Amino acid sequence: MDVLHWDGTLSAKDFKIGAFAFAQKWESHNSGFPPWSWVLCPKHPWLASPEEEGYLSLEKICISRPNEEDIDQISQIDTGEEETSCPGNEDVIDDATLVQSGHHELHYCDFHIVYSSTFRVPVLYFRAYCSDGSPFPLDEIEKQLPACSANELSKSKWTFITQEEHPYLKRPWYKLHPCGTAEWMKLLFLSDAAKPKFDVVLELYLLSWFSVVGQVFGLRIPFKISN
């Protein structure tokens, strides 16, 4: 595949390869989060060799902003990672060690990375809910986001969010609209003077993609992941 003429998209097969590469790197370098898991969805399970489709899933991520009392507790927790977080940034929290005071309602988010065969790119689907499982609507989610994300969300046209049926689970989820993805993926990879080979592009595709879409939720991936 000639990268110079690449249109920024992936085939379904390449998406799967890229998804596995991403999940692997994430697990090795992003210990602040649980790993992504691949959920298999055979397209025609009645066939002898069903087409294997699937998506990446990361669930029950706490997206609540800590309140003032909790901030003192957080600063005492040593996560033991060499994260380059700036002081005062409580957005990246290992929720396994976070101690929350009882009256602060926690909200969680499930993220699914699903391949769109129409746009030929990954799409981020998400849904948010309270600790009792009741759904948490989008305008409430926005209030939970880190300030610069919430700002981005209101200003930035590219984080266009729509609600639609999850392609596999058939329930309403939100998604970040993918129509511009191919274009900015092309820019990400082709702006360097040294054009990468396609297998490098594939290896890094989901990572680069996530560095962009993850910002909507303040989900940060460490730099060394792309080395």
User: Annotated catalytic sites, by residue?
Assistant: 179
Stretch that binds another protein, among 113-121, 137-145, 164-172, 180-188 (CB under 8 A): 180-188
User: Does 4 engage in binding with another protein (CB under 8 A)?
Assistant: no
Q: Which of 166, 165, 189 is nearest to 7 (CA)?
A: 189
Residues whose CB is less than 8 angstroms from the CB of residue 211 and which lie 6 or more positions away in sequence, other chains included:
221, 226
Smallest distance from another protein to CB 177, Å: 6
User: Does 18 engage in binding with another protein (CB under 8 A)?
Assistant: no
Q: Which of 225, 198, 227 is nearest to 214 (CA)?
A: 225
Choice from 20, 38, 129, 158 touching another protein (CB under 8 A)? 158
User: Does 204 engage in binding with another protein (CB under 8 A)?
Assistant: yes
User: Does 79 engage in binding with another protein (CB under 8 A)?
Assistant: no
Is residue 115 within 8 Å of 123, Cβ to Cβ?
yes
Distance of alpha carbon 109 from alpha carbon 133, whole angstroms: 11
User: Does 71 engage in binding with another protein (CB under 8 A)?
Assistant: no
Please provide the DSSP assignment of 123-151 as one string.
EEEEEEEETTS-B--HHHHHHHS-HHHHH
Q: Return the SS3 of 11.
A: coil
Strand 161-165 to 107-116 pairing: unpaired
User: Does 179 engage in binding with another protein (CB under 8 A)?
Assistant: yes
Choice from 68, 72, 139, 192 touching another protein (CB under 8 A)? 192
Distance of alpha carbon 189 from alpha carbon 100, whole angstroms: 41
Nearest-5° angle of CA 190, CA 195, CA 199? 100
User: Does 47 engage in binding with another protein (CB under 8 A)?
Assistant: no
Choice from 35, 104, 160, 163 touching another protein (CB under 8 A)? 160
Distance of alpha carbon 98 from alpha carbon 77, whole angstroms: 8
Size of the site for another protein (CB under 8 A): 37
User: Does 119 engage in binding with another protein (CB under 8 A)?
Assistant: no
User: Does 187 engage in binding with another protein (CB under 8 A)?
Assistant: yes
Smallest distance from another protein to CB 118, Å: 14
User: Does 155 engage in binding with another protein (CB under 8 A)?
Assistant: yes
Positions touching another protein (CB under 8 A) are 84-86, 89, 91, 146, 148, 155-158, 160, 177, 179-180, 183-184, 187-189, 191-192, 196, 201, 204, 207-208, 211-212, 214-215, 218, 220, 223-224, 226-227
